[in-house]
């Protein structure tokens, strides 16, 4: 056998590199002759995002809420746009949105401060920051989007900025609440109330994001936040209807926020609790408990034929039908609940009453819900994001 091998002709040292080059050339020709389908798929546009950009995102990267008289911009809008741009593999838009956010909401340096919540036209008609208090949900989404972008686009700056923001969130926007544990406050100031009470918001805590920070960041405080976050969701929905805002009392536990603008109801904030729950990975250990806890909302929608704009979290009384954006937001949740009739019902409602093109919040809810349904993005049990475009982007070596 060794003798036979020794008589075989020797292959030149550069033969493999020549063959590799020829294969690449052949592959390139095949791509060209097939309309370059793989490359097209890699940069396949997401029509909903393209329309959102056209309607809400200025050329400089500012996300404008046209529903406000003063055309405000919030850190929430900037945060969501970053995630949508990432989901669309839109690097240019991602960088524009990030640059505007840093320059206008963080005084030019996101390594030194959290972004202010609101920017727009002031009473004196000048333009700038209206409310400098950061919003922790926006900060979570910004840090998360930067971290994921750092991974999938191989951008070290994004990854580093994500870690710095994550540390600042822990240091400035959390508190150890007696009897509850380490909890995310809605902002650094303004939510620590007298008499050992705090005003909290369950919709600020998408569990996939917490899972991602838990496994990516070395600070053990991320892990400590998960159990209190789940208790917050449960405490905010005593009858299965999530509240916009809830009061946590160190002695009495969770209490309806009857003094707030929403008067103990669940509406425009709470709709995201169902949305985040619906988008959880099937392997998420908390998913079954949350779906069971919030099932009354699925039953209410089935009975009424529409989601409520506001629902009393204790009685289940509603005030009026919610928008079509609310119907869109509930689709992943209803899918997770396995209520096919109710899903079809809400899909028909969306067709019969399309979301208004300039309705910022409804469009945001729709991009999250329908983007998830179309598998533009999905979350796994560790909070990692899997994007549609990743399955078509080929790199040749």
Q: Which residues are catalytic?
A: 76, 137
Here the tokens at position 76 are 């929430």
The DSSP bridge partners found for residue 175 are 183
The DSSP bridge partners found for residue 308 are 321
Q: How far is CA 18 from CA 11, 21, 198, in A?
A: 12, 5, 69
**Nearest CA-CA partner of 369 in 346, 392, 353:** 346
Torsion angle of the four alpha carbons 36, 37, 39, 44, in this order, in degrees rounded to the nearest 10: 130
The DSSP bridge partners found for residue 99 are none
**Nearest CA-CA partner of 153 in 87, 80, 60, 59:** 87
Q: What is the number of residues in the chain?
A: 397
**Are residues 100 and 115 in contact, defined by beta-carbon separation less than 8 angstroms?**
no
| CA–CA distance, 383 with 215 (Å, rounded to integer) | 9
Distance of CA 161 to the CA centre of its chain: 18
| CA–CA distance, 364 with 367 (Å, rounded to integer) | 5
| N-to-C CA span, the chain | 35
Three-state secondary structure along 27-43? HHHHHHHCCCHHHHHHC
- Please give the DSSP secondary-structure letter assigned to residue 63: B
Helix pair angle (47-56, 75-87), 10° resolution: 150
Q: What is the CA radius of gyration of the chain?
A: 24
Q: How far is CA 33 from CA 30, 42, 217, in A?
A: 5, 17, 46
DSSP string, 120-166: EE-TTS-EEEEE-S--HHHHHHHHHHHHHHHHHTT-HHHHHHHHHHH
Residue identified by tokens 């404008």 is 64
């Amino acid at each position: 056998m060794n003798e036979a091998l020794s008589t075989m002709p020797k292959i030149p040292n550069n033969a493999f590199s020549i063959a590799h080059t020829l294969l690449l050339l052949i592959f390139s020709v095949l791509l060209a002759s097939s309309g370059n389908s793989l490359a097209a798929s890699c940069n396949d546009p997401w029509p909903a995002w393209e329309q959102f950009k056209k309607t809400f995102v200025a050329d400089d990267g500012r996300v404008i809420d046209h529903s406000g008289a003063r055309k405000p911009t919030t850190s929430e809008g900037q945060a969501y746009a970053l995630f949508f741009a990432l989901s669309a593999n839109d690097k240019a838009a991602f960088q524009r949105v990030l640059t505007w956010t840093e320059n206008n909401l963080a005084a030019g340096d996101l390594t030194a401060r959290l972004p202010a919540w609101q920017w727009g036209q002031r009473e004196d008609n000048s333009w700038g920051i209206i409310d400098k208090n950061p919003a922790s949900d926006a900060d979570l989404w910004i840090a998360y989007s930067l971290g994921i972008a750092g991974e999938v686009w191989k951008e070290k700056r994004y990854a580093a900025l994500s870690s710095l923001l994550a540390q600042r969130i822990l240091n400035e926007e959390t508190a150890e609440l007696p009897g509850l544990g380490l909890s995310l406050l809605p902002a650094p100031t303004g939510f620590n109330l007298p008499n050992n009470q705090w005003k909290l918001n369950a919709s600020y805590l998408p569990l996939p994001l917490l899972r991602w920070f838990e496994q990516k960041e070395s600070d053990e405080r991320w892990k400590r936040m998960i159990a209190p976050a789940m208790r917050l969701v449960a405490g905010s929905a005593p009858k299965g209807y999530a509240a916009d805002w809830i009061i946590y009392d160190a002695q009495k536990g969770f209490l309806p926020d009857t003094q707030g603008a929403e008067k103990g109801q669940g509406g425009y904030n709470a709709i995201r609790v169902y949305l985040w729950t619906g988008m959880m990975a099937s392997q998420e250990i908390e998913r079954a408990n949350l779906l069971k806890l919030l099932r009354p909302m699925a039953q209410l929608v089935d009975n009424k034929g529409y989601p409520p704009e506001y629902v009393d979290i204790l009685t289940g009384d509603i005030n009026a039908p919610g928008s079509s954006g609310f119907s869109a937001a509930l689709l992943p949740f209803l899918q997770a609940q396995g209520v096919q009739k109710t899903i079809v019902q809400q899909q028909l409602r969306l067709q019969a009453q399309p979301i208004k093109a300039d309705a910022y919040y409804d469009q945001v809810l729709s991009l999250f819900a329908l983007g998830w349904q179309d598998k533009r993005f999905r979350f796994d049990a560790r909070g990692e994001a899997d994007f549609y475009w990743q399955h078509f982007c080929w790199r040749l070596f």
